[in-house]
Structure 1
Amino acid sequence: MKKKARVDSRVKSTLALFGSCLAVYLIFKIIRPGNFGSLSNLFSYFQQSLMPAVAGCGLYFIVVMGLFDFSIGANIVLSALVGVMVGNRTGYIGFISSILAVATILGLINGIVYVKCRIPSIIVTIGLMIIYECLGALLASGSVFTLSKNIGAFGRAPMNIIFAFISFLIAYYFMKCTRIGIYTNAIGSNEKSAENMGINVKKYKVIAFVLAGFFAGLMSVLTVSYGNAMSPSTNMASMSRSFTPLMGCFFALAFKNSINPIVSIIVGEFIITMIMSGLIVVGIPSTLQNLVIGVTLIVIILLTCKVERDAVVK
């Protein structure tokens, strides 16, 4: 009976997640049948959604513990600036390795500062975000860093898709095949109980921030390759780059009892990309787009959480 209940729970949750995706598609397709949702459009949406999905996989290790990292956007910008500067001189190896090195180090700094300061992660990461933005602005000196076409393969299919799915496999390994995935979930469920079980909570919080930084670096590779350039961000403008990966994590949290978080993040980011593209096609003013996106996502998350709660109760 318990096995059948688990199967029913997964089926209902899967239907709810993919049903939400289909509903969003049909709404915009009905409103603008000629301008939205063609096969080429859907492929473009999919490619765009891969970038925040990659970062969302790393951010999930933090979010599942009830923490946040709003410096992800600044991390992406700063690591991309360094990567472009190094990559244009050394090629792909220097490009990827320098981005991942910088992004991972920044993640490590975030984790250490958070654990040592003992203040909320939101405050810590916003403060560090401002510092990283300043470093990026000083490095760029107001100029735009343009990526050489010789190392831009990860900005288009099929290399961007291959790169993203390798990233998802890495995330899956950490979630399912290491103590990191088990312990971060345990800490998120009950931190005091996790400590009593002998889990070094501070250590695994730092590791989670390191992973978030590493996957932000992977997103940075895709982002700068897709746009062929990166400019510095100031006045907390980089924070907007953090929201889309974070929203994907909300889908993962809503379905974590029934669906693999990586699948939820990928589908969730695809839904978010469709909503954003649909609003542009419909002609919603930019000042109202964030409002509509926020309300829509709240409705989707409330409905999906209800499905998940109902499944758990049964």
Structure 2
Amino acid sequence: MKASVTPVAETEIADSKKNKLRTGIEWKAIARYLSSFLGLLIIVVIFQIASEGNLLQVRNMRLLVNQSFIVMCGAMGASFVLAQGNLDLSLGGLVGITSTLGVITAKAYGPVAALAVCLLIGLCSGLLVGSVHVLFKVPAIILTICMMFALRGITWILNKDGSISMPAALAKLDTLNNKLIVVGIVFVIIFILFEYTKIGKYSTAIGANATAARQSGVPVSQMKILAYVISGFFGGLCGFLSMIRAASSSTNSGAMFEINVLTALVIGGMSLNGGAGAKMKAGLIGALMLAIIQNGLIIWGLNDKWQQAVQGAILIAAVAISYDRKNVVVID
């Protein structure tokens, strides 16, 4: 004979199941949020031991900041694009052309004008990419690769003899304090936009389901264009910073920058699918993780070719772990 269950007991059981489910979801969210910090800690410990304590020396820490601060700025700026499930592979070409035109402008009109030119070019590049992507339905990955090659070609034309030197007086801007200030300002701007404005909320909604977002009243087309404008703006800033750090521009300016940004975002915890799991901290933490890995490989005596091979393997592994294969159709 089965024992009867009163309506009150049924309600209590249902509430208990809901609470357990809610608790499980909360713990998963916390674990997902802390995973990038845990990954950073593990990498620091591994390379600190492997380098016999050299990794965290003051001199090496300064080198880490110098290696990572431009990628940090670029990755944080590209967060909105990836949150929507898109890519911006034009950033390397954008850094190349803005650093070149920045040097040319700085020699004639000074650093303020050079910064303005770099930011303006970045804005225009982002606006062009976003508009073509939205209006002509060109896949973002194909469009941004084409844009990268176009910008890279112009950079080669402008750097006729291989490089253009920056005015020596601007070298005083290349200080650790200035780099930390720039990263701090970029972090605050992106954090506010991503966490406290509709831009961030709409971007994650588009990444989760663009059709549902449009039906909910989200201006999907405008948000996609805006995401590329933001990415281009900070890409232009990265071009100016690259110019200051290198004290020149060359045909190699911005080389591999787009891959470094993508790697930083992915290993920092950003899914290529975008959506609710997208966090702007991924760019900051991932860029630092990438710099530590590259620095550790240098300490081990590996050349740049091996570093690229290791970085490629890390990117493949990170994408394989984070990519949502349920929503992807593969044609055999």
Is 1:287 aligned to 2:288, yes or no? no
1:295, 1:127 → 2: CA distance? 25
Q: What whole-Å deviation, never above 9, does each CA across 1:104-125 have from its counterpart, x for those lacking one?
A: 1111111122223212111111
- In 2, distance between residues paired with 1:254 and 1:226? 30
| TM-score normalized by the length of structure 1 | 0.85
User: Which of residues 141, 145, 165 is equivalent to 2:164?
Assistant: 145
Q: Does 1:253 align with 2:270?
A: yes
Aligned to 1:94: 113
Task: State the distance in 1 between where 2:279 and 2:213 align.
Answer: 21
Shift of 1:258: 9.3
Shift of 1:152: 3.3
Residue of structure 2 equivalent to 1:37: 56
Structure 1 residue 82: Cα displacement: 1.1
Give the AA of the match of 1:180: I
Counterpart position of 1:216: 235
Shift of 1:182: 1.5
State the alpha-carbon separation in 2 of the partners of residues 289 and 137 from structure 1.
25
2:291 is matched with which residue? Answer: 273
**CA distance change for structure 1 residues 285 and 76 in 2, over 3 Å: closer, same or farther?**
closer
Aligned to 1:204: 223
| Matches of 1:151 and 1:54, distance apart in 2 | 20
Go from structure 1 to structure 2 and tell me whether the alpha carbon gap of 1:5 and 1:90 turns closer, same or farther (over 3 Å shift).
farther
**What SS does structure 1 have at the residue aligned with 2:176?**
coil
Q: How many pairs does the alignment contain?
A: 303
Could you say what secondary structure the match of 1:158 adopts? helix
Q: Using the alignment, how far apart are the partners of 1:226 and 1:273 within structure 2?
A: 16
Q: Secondary structure at the match of 1:145?
A: strand
TM-score by length of 2: 0.81
Seen in structure 2, the aligned counterparts of structure 1 residues 116 and 257 have a Cα distance that, compared at 3 Å, is closer
1:1-314 map, 5 Å? 8-9=27-28, 11-13=30-32, 15-33=34-52, 35-233=54-252, 238=254, 240-250=256-266, 251-254=268-271, 261-299=279-317
Query: Secondary structure, in 3 states, of the residue corresponding to 1:103?
Result: helix
Following superposition, which runs of at least 4 residues in structure 1 exceed 6 angstroms of deviation? 255-260, 301-306
Q: How far is 1:53 from its partner?
A: 1.0
**Secondary structure at the residue paired with 1:230?**
strand
Deviation at 1:286, TM superposition (A): 3.5
| AA matched with 2:301 | G
Give the secondary structure class of the aligned counterpart of 2:85: coil
- More RCO (CA 8 Å, sep 6+): 1
Kept after mapping to 2: 8 A contact 1:70/1:239:
no
Residues 44-100 of structure 1, C-alpha deviations (whole Å, 9 max, x = no match): 213321211111112111111121111111101101111111122222311211110
Partner AA of 1:240 in structure 2:
M
CA distance in 1, matches of 2:173, 2:24: 42
State the distance in 2 between where 1:28 and 1:246 align: 22
**Correspondence for 2:4:** none
Give identity over the alignment, percent.
23
12-21 vs 153-162, which deviates more? 12-21
Shift of 1:275: 0.5
